[in-house]
Amino acid sequence: MDLKDQIHKDLLPKHVAIIMDGNGRWAKQKGLMRVIGHENGTKSVRETVEASAELGIKNLTLYAFSTENWRRPKLEVQTLMKLLVKSLKKEIKTLQDNNIRLLAIGALSDLPKKAYEELQYVIEKTKNNEHMTLTLALSYGSREEIVNVIKELSVKVKNNIISPENIDESIINKHLYTQNLPDVDLLIRTSGEQRISNFLLWQIAYAELYFTDIFWPDFKKHNLYEALIDYQNRERRFGKTSEQLT
Ligand code: IPE
Ligand code: IPE
Ligand code: MG
């Protein structure tokens, strides 16, 4: 049976998040410049977005650039930002044709003006699409996100808009960048690294983690199918016993 046919449509994760890692090593292995790895990584983005939309996954979040990635060589950062603008211009049609809404999370005002404006343009153009929500994490850091929530809530407490006793998980959710997204069900990381790298720390509290050695530019539709099949074979107990679930 085809891999795709082994996926149960009624047991799909509501939210898949991916740490797209390994572009640099993919290129190095081939004796190419890191930048070529990033360029080829954009093809995997397209494959993954298409495959997710075809299957009916409602939310896909991709870690494209972290707050820590600003520490990379200036030329690499510039190239990544140029690639972002290029991809947005190229893919807006795919998003529209497939009824996909684009969102972005992170310290977006830190992006170069051109990237910021192109991003806002595509977000605005696709805002009424409802088949799938694609969220790009750009200049994203989870700790920074949480610090911002605490600052905002402190101001609200100070101004008597909310009282400390009323702070609960749902209020925190509403102040995160991901305020309108469900919790992550499945987190995938490529390239063999088994770490979270400051990604969605709050939102992955009960996510299933899936690590693959494949470098991101080699990640194709069947790799996503494999991850989903693995996910669907796990028992998510959320603290309960196995017996309670049946
Ligand atoms: C992921 O690939 C892309 C970004 C972090 C922007 P890397 O560039 O981290 O590739 P490796 O980890 O060096 O192989
Ligand atoms: C995490 O990858 C960030 C993105 C995929 C955008 P990195 O390659 O930057 O992570 P570390 O620094 O190796 O943990
Ligand atoms: Mg990396």
Distance in Å from the first CA to the final CA of the chain: 28
Please, what is the angle between helix 34-55 and helix 221-232, to 10°?
Answer: 60
Q: Which ligand is nearest to the CA of 199?
A: 2
Tell me if the pTM is above 0.95: yes
Q: Please, which pLDDT band fits residue 112 given cuts at 50, 70 and 90?
A: very high
Burial 6-29 (b: 16+ CB within 10 A, else e): ebeeeebbebbbbbbbbbbbbbee
Which atom belonging to ligand 1 lies closest to the Cα atom of 20? 1
For the chain, domain boundaries = 13-141+183-232
Question: How far does residue 197's CA lie from ligand 2's centre (Å)?
Answer: 6
Q: Give the CATH H-level superfamily of domain 13-141+183-232.
A: Decaprenyl diphosphate synthase-like (3.40.1180.10)
CA 184 to chain centre: 9
**3-state SS assignment for residue 127:** coil
Region 78-98: mean pLDDT is 97
Calpha distance 246→229 (Å, rounded): 20
Q: What is the mean pLDDT of residues 215-237?
A: 98
Closest residue by CA, ligand 2 atom 8: 21
Q: How far is the CA of 24 from the centre of ligand 3 (A)?
A: 7
User: What pLDDT is recorded for position 246?
Assistant: 82
- What are the backbone angles phi and psi of residue 224, rounded to the nearest 5°? -70, -40
Q: Which ligand is nearest to the CA of 63?
A: 2
For 137-186, how does the pLDDT look when each residue is reduced to its tens digit (9 = 90+)?
999 999 999 999 999 999 999 999 999 999 999 999 999 999 999 999 99
What's the CA dihedral at 111, 53, 86, 195 to 10 degrees? Answer: 50
Count of alpha carbons within 13 Å of 41, Cβ hemisphere only? Answer: 28
Q: Is 102 helix (H, G, I), strand (E, B) or coil?
A: strand
